[in-house]
Structure formats: C-alpha cells, structure tokens
Amino acid sequence: MLSSTVALAAVRFGCYLALLLLVGSAGLALRLSADLNATTERLRANAVRLALIAALALTLGRIASLYGQTWLFFGVDEGVDAETLRIIAMETTWGAGWRVQFASATFALIGAALVRTHVNTGWPILGVGALIAAGSQSLTGHAVEGGWLSPAVFAQSVHVAGAAIWIGSLLAIFAVVLRRKPDRTLVATVIERFSPLALLGAGALLFTGLTTSYLYLSSPADLIWTVYGRVLVAKITGFAIITTLGYHNWQRIKPRLGDVAANDELRRAVAAELAVAIVVLVATAFLVVLPLPAASM
C-alpha cells in the first residue's frame, strides 16, 4: 500500500512539474514576443523548446497516471491490460477527467511543435491546451468527488492556475532568462513584468488553499492527528517560506536589477525559492493520493 502511494505520488509530482513548466514557458514565450530583437528571439525559441519538452512530459505523465489508476483499481488480481485500461478511461468519473487532461496535454504538444516549426497557428493551440491542462488538473483528485461543478473543483482549478502563474513562470524565467550570463536590461524588464503576476498567483494560492483546507478538514485537529493534515502543514510551511523569499527578492533585489551583483544574487535567490517549491509540489502530490481526514477515520 505504501509503495503504491509513493508511486502514484511520484507520477502526480511529474505531472505537476510538467504542467507548471508548460504554462510558465508558454507564457514567457508570448511575453518575449512583444519586444523581439536578436536576444529575445533566441530566448523565445528556448522558451518554446521548453514548452515542447514540458508538453511531451505531461502527455507521458497522463499515460502513466492512467496505468497507475488502473493498477490501483484492479490490483494484482486482474492486472493491467487493454480492457482494464479502457474501463478506467471510458467508464469512470476519474476517466472522464483524465480524458480532458490527456487531450489538453496532447493539444499543447501539437501547438508547441507547430510553433517550433514557425507555424503561427500553433500559438493559440499551445495557449488553449496549456490553459485547459491547468484548469482540468482538479478533475482527477479529491475535489471531483462533489461533481465537476462543485466549489472544491473551482477552488482547486484556481489553485493550480495560481501556482502555474507564479511558480511556473519563475521556473521558466530561471531556465531561460537567468541561466548563464543574461542581459542585465532584459532581466530587469522580465522581472518587472513578472512581479504583478507573482502577486496575483500568490494571492490565488493563499485564498484557494484556505478554501480547500476548510472543505477537506473536519476540524483543526486533523492537522495534527491525520497523515493528510501533517503533510498539509508541511505544504503550508513551504508556501510561507517561498512567500518570504519572494518578498525579499521583490523588496531587496528587484530595485537593484541591472547591476551585475544584483543579477547574480537574484539567480541564487530564485534557485532557493524553486528548491522549496519542489518540496511543496512533492507534498501536494501526496495530498492528492492520501485519503481525506474524514475517510481515514
């Protein structure tokens, strides 16, 4: 049981990471398109390549999640074959959500591939695929137990969108703009545009995180006496650390951008912020596969 929980959480983590990177890199590529020159053209191409890799990883992750869910449902008795995969994908509520997730990931993959070959019609395909991929993430988790139109599904969808806007964009900026020796003026411009998005994403994460905690916990004591609650505390702690680091970057480093020392300091600070974000994503992946406190009593 423990091994299956860890395996399913690992698949969830991979999907989360790929999803955030997909949304972040696609958004960065679009923002770089606004001021094209020799430098931004090259960086945009790198962002599109990153989006393509993320979309491919997400598509493969969706396939892995179907396999894992099928194995969890049928176990070692009936095993995993074409028929059991079909039953889970086509005849269950989980499968209905999975089909949306798989289709949107594939859609984004096609869009990214078209953009990479300089076909402009790929941009809306990539954008729509990435947005639906983020919005549908909640359709195979605890939130969907109340139906697709439940408050939990809405809150979780906004939660994922907030993470994609904030952490996904930060991942893409770190991978594309901040690595090696970036153009100092470009770094300042990108961070200036990113700051309002970071505030929006952090606010969405905080509000929807509190909402889903209220919906999923039967009492504050669950935070101590259940495994789900303790993992949630770890996630909240990680979120607080990321917020503190982000606030430090905004107040202390952002005003000095353009200076070589400030750019190097920003790279290190963002790396620390993303390291904590990875831990938070691991906790999030376990929260999805762990039973809710009410179900574990």
CATH number of the CATH domain containing 84? 1.20.1630
Domain that holds residue 68: 2-296
pLDDT tens figures, 245-287: 888 888 888 788 767 777 788 888 899 999 999 999 999 999 9
pLDDT of residue 30: 87
What percentage of the chain carries pLDDT values higher than 90?
A: 52
Mean pLDDT, residues 149-178: 91
Tokens found for residue 62: 């969706």
What are the φ and ψ backbone dihedral angles of 121, each rounded to 5 degrees? -65, -10
Structural domains counted in the chain: 1
Q: What angle do CA 32, 48, 54 make, to 5 degrees?
A: 130
Please, which pLDDT band fits residue 217 given cuts at 50, 70 and 90? confident
- pLDDT for 248: 84
Q: What is the CB neighbour count within 10 angstroms for residue 75?
A: 11
* pLDDT of 1: 54
Instruction: Give the per-residue pLDDT at 186.
Output: 78
**Which letter, b or e, does each residue of 255-280 get, where b requires 16 or more Cβ atoms within 10 Å of its Cβ?**
eebeeeebbebbbebbeebbebbeeb
Mean pLDDT of the residues in the chain: 88
Q: Kindly tell me if the per-residue pLDDT of 219 is higher than 90.
A: no
Dmax of the chain from CA atoms? Answer: 63
Looking at the predicted structure, is the pLDDT value of residue 127 above 80? yes
Token pair, residue 280, equals 């938070």
